[in-house]
A and B are shown apart, each in its own frame.
Chain A
Amino acid sequence: MALALPIIVTMGALVFYPLAVTLWDSLHRVDPMRPGTPFIGLRHYIDLVADENVRQATWNTLVYVAIAVLLETVGGVAAALLLSSVKHGRKWLLAAVVLPWALPPVVNALVWLWIYNPSYGVLNALARTAGLIADNQVWFNDRPAALVLIALVHVWRMLPLTAVIVLAALQSVPGELYEAAWIDGAGPVRSFFSVTLPLISGGLAIALTQSTVFAFNLFDEAWILNGTSRDTRTLLVQVYMSAFQNLHFSYGMALSALVMFVSLAVSLFYILRIQRTTEFG
């Protein structure tokens, strides 16, 4: 019991207590530049729903989540399949694949910022050389393009996580099952869908959860690549701006509480699904 005590104290003081404070304070007006913290009930939450900034940020975040989860899952599974079929030099290939995830996200964003640079970036240079565009494009002027490009940087960073998780799951699929499928006449595609996919579904669910939560928490990429621009602002950027640029702490806390409930709901959905899958496995 004593061994578990430091954990209880640490998590209690640094996670649960602040969480409770967030929920409590979101019902008050807490503004460091103004005295007093009067109780205002649900007014912040009502203001949030009416706040156009929050609506746009919500939309942007949902777009990121959709793109990120889709691309990371498809790409991650493909990468994992590729990795498991490679025998020589798998260690080095794995190191290369994991590298984007290991780097500080901020540095990733800066690297891609340079790639996306309208006048001198390599994206424009490559696209021009390949004949895809006539002249340098200012990608971030187009909202859908901006959202996709920012999501792409996030995917670049997070795909390795999905790949590794799925790879681990793939390793645990017994070879005999593939032999049996082959004997039954199944080609590679059918064997993937009837043998592989069901057996890695547990790992896939974990990967999906991770992808979703991380995408909900997207901050670094949106911040570095496009600053406070409303068309690409995420919920977390909005919280940061409300709290630390405009100094409206309680407003920021109400927003973060709202998002937490949504993100918890989504995670709970996945976790329950995992429970059901592993119950059978």
Chain B
Amino acid sequence: MKFRAMLLALSALAALASAPVRADDAKPYAGQAITVLLPPWGTLPKTMTDRFHAATGIDVTIQTLGWDDIHAKILTSMVAGSAPADVTEVDWSWVGQFGSAGWYLPLQDKIDAKVIEDVASSKIFRADGKLIGMPYSNDFRVLIVNKALLAKAGVAAPPTTMDELLAAARAVKAKASVAYPIALPLSPSEGTATAWYLLTKAFGGDLFSADNKPLFTTPDSAGYKALAWEIGALKDGLIDPASTGLTDVQVQEFFKNGQAAIDLAGWVGNLAVYNDAGKSKVAGDAVAALMPSAVGKSRSFGLPEALGVPANSQHQGAAVAFIAWWMQPENQIEAYNTLGDLPTSTAVLKTLNEQGKLASGSVLLQQIPTVEPLFANGTPGWYPQFSSAASGAINQAAKGQLTVAQAVAQIAKEAKQAMSQ
């Protein structure tokens, strides 16, 4: 009983503390409260959330979930007809699924057209011409290496081919006393699948043909070679065996602690975090390099993430205000510096680079032209199921339960199943 009295007292206190503010013209949504559902790299620092509240009078509560759990959470909520939050993460890979279901508020008339144009990746978030999300993170993949560890191992320059990458890793293992130099996730999670897609491109191939036929099933195909490369590196002791239980954000911790020298499917935004002495033990040593390639042409792909407003949110105006606020240059910059979310505004990127504040800026600008979307015609609705099957098979191959041949065959089979259902 005392416990409940305490609870009541606390809630009374909370109610008193959040007395409504009178809305005025400059702050049309003042007094409203919105919830925002984002992955861990959306956990805005208190200074930013306080600033938003001061600017708009809106109370914002940020809920963060692991990325892989957000998708299921949004699905179960939207199918039940209730909005999981007023603003949610909208990943590039969900556009096909969400767009066709009409779950998100079209933003093209609600956000300033100039802002939309300035953000190049907003194209990816159009479904049937409707803009269902404004990109906040311009993630694409690049090779990130710890130049100090490489130097200690006698490797002068970052590797440019897949064989050089293996050689560099072996050198670091032997001479820089790093047990497992390559950080690569191998658990059944999205990070594992996207890393494999990236390596497929590094071997000069693609996942699917134009008519959605799997291109990775034969031993001479790029996808096959990529998976074989991963398993080989694992067997050679270059990747931590515990990676089969780790997601991408967890293996990035290895890099931050100096326990890995190569972040193979590096998130470009992470360069800011890796070089922040308050968050990483290898600050100053993390540099980006072009994605290595087995065929001489570096390729990468983009995995942008956006902020969207569920159509049945009760606070649509305030939610859109939050998105517009995030798009402001100073907020994009602060999100970059504290959380590693690479700004999506082209103007901001240019400014940062000119000021020398874009970590490894010259490499990034070189890589950007090679960044393609994974699916040229838009992400299909069957992608989430396919991706989950891919990471599951990779995980089993890493544990030795499947051979590479069996794994790619299984992925192809499940892809067909996903496409037909």
Q: Which of A's residues lie within 8 Å of B, judged by CB?
A: 31-33, 52, 118-119, 138, 140-143, 226-231, 241, 244-248, 251
Contact = CB atoms under 8 A, between A and B. Distances in A.
B76 interface: yes
A231 B401 contact: yes
Contacts of A231: 396, 399, 401
Contacts of A31: 421
Nearest to A146: B399
Interface string B81-114: 0000000000000000100110000000000000
Interface stretch (B141-149, B316-324, B326-334, B381-389): B381-389
27 contacts: A32-B79, A33-B97, A33-B100, A52-B410, A119-B242, A138-B242, A138-B244, A140-B245, A141-B241, A141-B244, A141-B398, A143-B401, A226-B245, A227-B187, A229-B188, A229-B395, A229-B396, A230-B396, A231-B401, A245-B71, A245-B384, A245-B385, A245-B388, A246-B385, A247-B75, A247-B79, A251-B421
Interface of B: 71-72, 75-76, 79, 97, 100-101, 187-189, 241-242, 244-245, 381, 384-385, 388, 392, 395-396, 398-401, 410, 413, 418, 421
Contacts of A228: 188, 388, 392
A26 B82 CA distance: 26
Contacts of A230: 188, 392, 395-396
Contacts, number: 65
Nearest to A251: B421
A145 to B, nearest CB: 11
- Label chain A's interface by main secondary structure: loop
A3 B314 CA distance: 42
A231 B388 CA distance: 14
Contact of B245 (A32, A118, A245): A118
Given A119-B242, A228-B388, A245-B384, A141 B399 contact: yes
B244 A244 contact: no
Nearest to A231: B401
Contacts of B395: 229-230
B416 to A, nearest CB: 13
Contacts of A226: 245
A196 B61 CA distance: 60
B178 to A, nearest CB: 15
Given A118-B245, A119-B242, A227-B188, A245 B392 contact: no
Nearest to A136: B242
A176 to B, nearest CB: 47
A248 B421 contact: yes
A246 B388 CA distance: 10
Contacts of B400: 141
Contacts of A140: 244-245
A227 B395 CA distance: 12
B410 A138 contact: no
Contacts of B421: 31, 246, 248, 251
Contacts of B381: 33
Contacts of B75: 244-245, 247
A245 B399 contact: no
A277 to B, nearest CB: 43
Tell me which of B381, B395, B410 has the highest count of chain A C-beta atoms within 10 A of its own C-beta.
Answer: B395
Q: Which 10 A-B pairs have the closest CB atoms?
A: A118-B242, A138-B242, A138-B241, A246-B385, A228-B188, A32-B79, A141-B399, A140-B245, A229-B188, A230-B392
A249 B126 CA distance: 28
A2 B249 CA distance: 58
Contacts of A142: 399
